Amino acid sequence: MIIADATSTTVIGKGIMIGLGFIGPAIGIGLIGGNYLSAVGRNPEASKFFGQALVFTAIVELFGLLAFASTFIVK
Amino acid sequence: MTSLFADSGPAVHVAPAPIMHLGGLTITNSILWGWISTVIICLVMILVARRVTVKPKGGLVQFIEAGVDFITNLVESGFDDKSRGRRYVPYFVTLFFFLMLSNWLGLLPGIGEAFHRGDNPLLRPFTADLNGTFAAGLVTMLVVYAASIRESGGPIKYIRHFFIGSPLNPLYLIIGILEMFTDLTRVFSLSLRLFLNVAIGEIVIAVFSYLGHVVAPVTALPFTLLELFVGALQAYIFTVLSLNYLAIVANHGHGSEGQESLTEEPLPETIGLQSGRA
């Protein structure tokens, strides 16, 4: 109750939204990068797939951006 | 009206604002800058095309040439049959350069908060407007659908491509219909990705130049450079993804006949399995 008095709950909602929304893409991009590096470590010829790794990164990144954009809708 | 410092918080706009009315049409700030940047891009490209020589002289001409070459190789290698891919090279090269240069022109100083008309900024990056990127996504997907129908040889064959087995099998029927709806969401995913990357990049630059206050150029510079990279990357990704949507359909009939699979029994071809190919 004290917190709810001090600040608007919208701010808390936005904070949770951004925080949770960024966790997923962060893990996803980490997995893509880590797996890319381990693939290159095993087989250095796989480094030519860097462009594809970037494409998948962009696909994952979209969801984080969606979470960020949704915070502007919360009033 | 020029303002050097933001007074109260960073100025954040996610939607374009109307600045004038022309007949029954509302002209927004992003479409105004979209027209101006279209003219700039056309002029630059015409100028470059006239100055292309066999022996490269360097400078802008060589940069554009390298980009054209890069996308041409990308499109041709995406198809099993290179001569098929060559037909679609002009569209994808145009798409790539239009999006990349639109992203970069939106980062120029003066676009955004510098000039105002009434309460709204006069100019806004074209790709930081969902209408602009949605138009780009819609046109691209219409081209992709038309080309897919042509490549697969008729609308019936194109629709048949969604079903991995006989459509009479209820499971394959449901999967195929779901696959069709997935196809329709591509317009939104393409346009939303480009829009959100550019619009949120603008917001990030605004926030960091606000935080910097007096030394705003120093704090905003790294993010502006990041946005240069992101602008080129997003144009590349837009091109590659729309190319893949086309190449999956175009390569569908050829892959299974030409190359014999390693396993004894041919695996059932799924549409998702092939999407990893560039």
CA distance B239 to chain A (A): 10
Q: Assess B73–A contact: CB distance below 8 Å, yes or no.
A: no
Q: Find the residue in A nearest to B186 (Cα).
A: A59
What is the per-residue DSSP string for B212-255? HGGGHHHHHHHHHHHHHHHHHHHHHHHHHHHHHHHHHHHHHHHH
pLDDT confidence of residue B278: 46
Neighbour tally for B64: CB within 10 Å: 20
User: Which of A55, A65, A68 is closest, CB to CB, to B241?
Assistant: A55
Summarize pLDDT for B74-114 with one digit per residue, the tens.
Answer: 898 888 888 888 889 999 999 999 999 999 998 888 787 77
SS3 content of chain A, % helix, strand, coil (to 5): 90, 0, 10
* Cβ contact B200–A68 (<8 Å): yes
Query: What is the predicted pLDDT for the residue at A25?
Result: 93
Nearest chain A residue (CA) to B237: A55
Distance CA B33, CA B127 (A): 10
Q: Which residues of B touch A62 (CB under 8 A)?
A: 189, 192-193, 196
ipTM value: 0.72
Q: Alpha-carbon distance B49 to B59, whole Å? A: 13
Per the CB < 8 Å rule, is A62 touching B278?
Answer: no
> What pLDDT is recorded for position B270?
55
Residue A75: inside a domain: no
Quote the minimal CA–CA distance from A60 to chain B in Å: 10
Q: Where are the domains of chain B?
A: 26-253+269-274
Is A61 in the B-facing interface, judged by CB distances under 8 Å? yes
Count how many domains chain A has. Answer: 1
Helix locations, chain B, DSSP H: 29-50, 60-78, 82-86, 89-105, 130-152, 155-160, 170-184, 186-212, 216-258, 271-274
Within 8 A of B193 by CB-CB distance, chain A residues are 58-59, 61-62, 65
In the prediction, which pLDDT does A49 show?
A: 85
User: Could you say which of B193, B199, B240 has the minimum Cβ distance to residue A62?
Assistant: B193
Q: Model confidence over A28-56: pLDDT tens digits?
A: 999 999 999 999 999 998 888 888 888 88
Look at residue B120 in the predicted model and tell me its pLDDT. Answer: 81
Task: Supply the pLDDT for residue B121.
Answer: 84
pLDDT (tens digit, 9 = 90+) per residue, B171-212?
A: 888 888 888 888 888 899 899 999 999 988 888 888 888 888
**B199: nearest CA in chain A?**
A69
Which candidate from A52, A55, A69 shows the least CB-CB separation from B196?
Answer: A69
- How confident is the model at residue B3, as a pLDDT? 52
Residue A24 lies in a domain: yes
What is the predicted pLDDT for the residue at A1? 52
Which pLDDT value is given to residue B269? 55
What are the tens digits of pLDDT across the range B125-141? 899 888 999 999 999 99
Q: What is the CATH number of the domain that holds A21?
A: 1.20.20.10
CB contacts of B189 in chain A (<8 Å) are: 62
Q: How confident is the model over B140-161, as a mean pLDDT?
A: 88
pLDDT of the residue at B71: 93
| Owning domain of residue A7 | 2-70
Is A26 among the domain residues?
A: yes
Per-residue model confidence (pLDDT) at position B6: 47
Partners of B21 in the beta sheet? B26
CA nearest A63 in B: which residue?
B193
